[in-house]
Structure 1
Amino acid sequence: MLRLLTVTALAMLGFAANSILNRLALATAEADALGYTGIRLASGAIALTIILALRTGRDREPTGSRAGAAALFGYALFFSIGYLMLAAGTGALILFASVQAGMLFWSVRSGERLSPAEWVGFALAFACFILLASPGFAAPDPLGLGLMVIAGLCWAAYSLLGRGSRDSLADTTGNFLLCLPFALGLTLIGMLLHPPSLIGWACAIGSGAVASGIGYTLWYAALPHFSRTTAAFIQLTVPVAATVGGNLFLSEPVTLRVILASTGVLGGVAMAVHAAELRRRRARSFAPDAP
Structure 2
Amino acid sequence: MSGPAEAARVAGEPARDWHTPLQLLLVGAVFGSSFLFMRVAAPEMGAGPLVGVRLVCGSLVLLPFVWQARRQLPWQRWPVVALIGAINAAVPFLLFAWAAQRAPAAVGAICNAMAVLFTALVAFAAFGERIGLRRALALLAGFAGVVVLATAKVSGLALGPAVLAGTAAAFCYGIGMNLVKRRLGDLPPAAAAGATLSVAAVLVLPLALAAWPVQPVSAAAWSSAVALGVLGTGLAFIPYYRLIQRIGAPRAAVVAYLIPVFGALLAWLFLGEPVTVRMLLAGLLILGSVAASQRAR
TM-score range, shorter chain: 0.7 to 0.9
Relative to 1, partners in 2 of residues 1:106 and 1:6: Cα closer, same or farther, differing over 3 Å? Answer: farther
* Counterpart residue number, 2:41: 25
The corresponding residue for 2:49 is: 35
- CA shift for structure 1 position 147: 1.9
1:112 shift after superposition: 3.1
Q: 1:193 is paired with a residue of what secondary structure?
A: coil
Alignment map for 1:166-205 (pairs within 5 Å): 166-205=187-226
More displaced stretch, 243-252 vs 212-221: 212-221
User: Does the residue aligned with 2:134 lie in a helix, a strand or coil?
Assistant: helix
Asked if 1 retains the 8 angstrom alpha-carbon contact of 2:39 and 2:100, the reply is yes
Matched, 1:207 2:228: yes
Q: What is the CA-CA distance between 1:259 and the residue it aligns to?
A: 1.4
Deviation at 1:218, TM superposition (A): 4.5
Q: Which residue of 2 aligns with 1:279?
A: none
The superposition leaves residues 196-236 of structure 1 with CA deviations (integer Å, 9 ceiling, x where unpaired) of 22222211111111111122445455668437xx9888524
Structure 2 CA distance, aligned partners of 1:191 and 1:157?
Answer: 29
For 1:238-263, what per-residue CA distance to the aligned partner results, in whole angstroms no more than 9, with x for missing partners?
Answer: 21221111111110011111112212
Partner residue of 1:258?
Answer: 279
Given the superposition, is the C-alpha separation of residues 231 and 119 from structure 1 closer, same or farther in structure 2, using an over 3 Å criterion?
A: farther
Residue 158 of structure 2 is aligned to residue 131 of structure 1: no
Q: 1:150 is matched by which residue type in structure 2?
A: A
1:171 to partner: Cα distance: 1.6
RMSD across aligned positions (CA): 3.1
Contact 2:66 2:195 in 1 (8 A): no
Q: What amino acid is the match of 2:110?
A: L
Q: AA paired with 1:258?
A: M
Name 1:16's counterpart in structure 2. Answer: 32
Q: Counterparts in 2 of 1:83-102, with a 5 A limit?
A: 83-97=100-114, 99-102=115-118
Contact 1:41 1:176 survives alignment (8 Å): yes
Aligned to 2:124: 108
Residues 5 and 118 of structure 1: CA distance in aligned 2, closer, same or farther (over 3 Å): farther
Q: 5+ unaligned residues in a row in structure 2: which ranges? A: 1-15
Contact kept? 1:14, 1:212, Cα under 8 Å: no
The alpha-carbon distance between structure 1 residues 49 and 131, as it changes in their structure 2 partners (threshold 3 A), is: same
- The reply to whether residue 80 of structure 1 matches residue 97 of structure 2 is yes
2: distance between equivalents of 1:6 and 1:67?
Answer: 35
Contact 1:26 1:83 in 2 (8 A): yes
Write the distance in 1 (CA, Å) between the matches of 2:218 and 2:65: 27
Conserved 8 A contact 1:48-1:209: no
Count of residue pairs brought into register by the alignment: 266
Q: CA deviation at 1:132?
A: 1.7
Is the contact between residue 152 and residue 278 of structure 2 (CA under 8 Å) also seen in structure 1? no
Do the aligned partners of 1:165 and 1:171 also contact (CA within 8 Å) in 2?
no
Aligned-residue offset at 1:50: 5.0
Q: Paired residue for 2:3?
A: none
Q: 1:243–1:254: 8 Å Cα contact kept in structure 2? A: yes
**1:48 matched to 2:62:** yes
2:132 and 2:200 map into 1 onto residues whose CA distance is 39
In structure 2, the CA distance between the partners of 1:67 and 1:139, relative to structure 1 (3 Å rule), is same
Q: 1 CA distance for matches of 2:196 and 2:295?
A: 33
Amino acid at match of 2:53: I
CA distance in 2, matches of 1:180, 1:126: 31
Distance in 1 of aligned mates of 2:186 and 2:92: 19
Q: What is the CA-CA distance between 1:116 and the residue it aligns to?
A: 3.3
Q: 1:184 to 1:131 in 2, by over 3 A?
A: closer
Native 8 Å contact 1:168 1:221 kept in 2: no
For residue 153 of structure 1, what is the amino acid of its counterpart?
Answer: F
Partner SS, residue 100 of structure 1? helix
Q: Deviations over 1:98-157 (max 9, x none)?
A: x23421212323333344333333333332332222366767433222222222122222
